[in-house]
Amino acid sequence: LELGQPRFTSAVIMRAKAGRRRDGGGQLVATECKHVYHEQCLSQWMKRSPTCPECKAEQKSKPVRLKPEVQSLEDHLLPHDPDAVARLQADIADIERENEKLEERIEGVESVTESLTEECEAAEGELERLRASLRRAKREKQSAEERMYTVEQEMQMKLEELRSIQGAVREDMPVREPRPEVKRLRDGIVNNRNIDVLLRAVEQEWHQLLESYRRPEEDLEVLTAELNAVEEELQEARANCRSPVAKRKKVGLTAHERVMRRGLERQLTSSSREQSVLQRMRTLAGGDVRQQQQKGEPQPSPQPNPGVLQRHATRVMAASQLSEVSQPAAAPLP
C-alpha cells in the first residue's frame, strides 16, 4: 500500500498501545514500513532507537504525517466487529499479493523489453556494418571494372601491333632465305635443347626415386601396422592354443618370414626400377647418336654430363644402403 493508505492492523495496534494517551487531537504518522503510530509516541521511540516499534525495521527518513480523514479511520474501525476487521485485513493481504504479482510481471516485461532492445541495437549495428561492407564492395567492383576495361583496351592495342609485326615478318621472310650454316646451327641448338630436356627429365626421375627411399616415416607406419597385426595374431594364438610358448614361436617365425619376404620384394622392385631407368638413359643416348650419324653431321655426339651421372650413382648407392639398413631392422619381432 501507499503511504497515504495505512494498514488497519497498525492502526488497531497503535490504538491499543496509545489509547490511554489519546486526547482526541493526536497526530498520526506512518513509518517507511507502513506502520502507523502517534507522532509523540513514535518520536520518543525514535530517540531511543531509530527503528519501527513493531517490525524493528531501520528508519532512514522522517515519519510521514497522515491527513485528518486518515486519522478518523481509527474512530470508525475501533467500534466495529473484529470479524469485519479480520475480513478487511484478509482483503488487504490479497490486494498486496496481487500487487506484488503485478510488480513481478512488470519487472519481467521490463527485463524482456531491455533484452529485446539490446538485440535490436546489436542487429542495427550488424546491419550498418553489412551496409558499409556492401558499399565498399560496390566501390571495389567499380574500380575493378574500370581496370579491366583499361587492360582490355591495352590488350587490343597490343594485338593489333602484333598482327602488324607478323604481317611485316611474313612479307620479309621470302626475301630472306636462311643460310645452310644458320640452319645447321639451329638444328644443333634444337638437338642440344632436346638432350637437356631429357637429362632434366632423367634427373627428376632420379630425384623422385631418391625421395621414395627417403620416407622412413611411411615405412615405419607400415611396419607398425604389420607389427600390430602380428600382435593381434599372437593374442588369438595364445587364447586358442594349448601350448602358448610353442604357438608364440610358430607365429613369430611366420611373421618374421613374412616381413623378410616383403623386404626382398621391395629390394627387387627398386632394382628393377633402377635397371629400367638406366635402360631408358642408354636408349635415349643411343638414339640421339644414331640420328646424328644418319644426318651425316660433323658435330660430335653429345655425351651425358659425368657430374650428373656421378650424382645419380651416388644417390642410387645411398638409397640402396638405406633400404638395406631399414629392411633388416624391421624383420625381428619384439
pLDDT class of 112 with cuts at 50, 70, 90: very high
And the C-alpha cell for 57? 525495521
Is it the case that residue 109 has pLDDT exceeding 90? yes
Q: Which of 263, 239, 262, 267 is closest to 251 using CA atoms?
A: 239
Say whether both 217 and 272 belong to one domain: yes
Say whether both 52 and 93 belong to one domain: no
Axis-axis angle for helices 82-172, 8-18 (nearest 10): 140
Cell 627387387 appears where? Answer: 268
Domain that holds residue 88: 81-150
Here the contacts of 147-155 (C-beta below 8 Å, separation 24 or greater) are none
Q: Roughly how many angstroms between the first and final C-alpha of the chain, as a whole number?
A: 88
- Of how many residues is the chain composed? 334
Domain boundary among 79, 100, 126: 79
Domain boundary among 150, 176, 201: 150
Beta bridge partners of 30: 36, 64
Overall average pLDDT of the 223-248 stretch: 65
Within-domain flag for 19: yes
Say whether both 38 and 53 belong to one domain: yes
pLDDT class of 187 with cuts at 50, 70, 90: confident
Q: Which of 44, 31, 37 is closest to 3 using CA atoms?
A: 31
Say whether both 36 and 62 belong to one domain: yes
Say whether both 113 and 139 belong to one domain: yes
pLDDT class of 6 with cuts at 50, 70, 90: very low
Is it the case that residue 129 has pLDDT exceeding 90? yes
Is it the case that residue 70 has pLDDT exceeding 60? no
Domain boundary among 42, 62, 79: 79
pLDDT class of 218 with cuts at 50, 70, 90: low
- Number of domains the chain contains: 3
For residue 50, report the phi and psi dihedrals to the nearest 5 degrees: -80, 55
pLDDT class of 324 with cuts at 50, 70, 90: very low
Within-domain flag for 102: yes
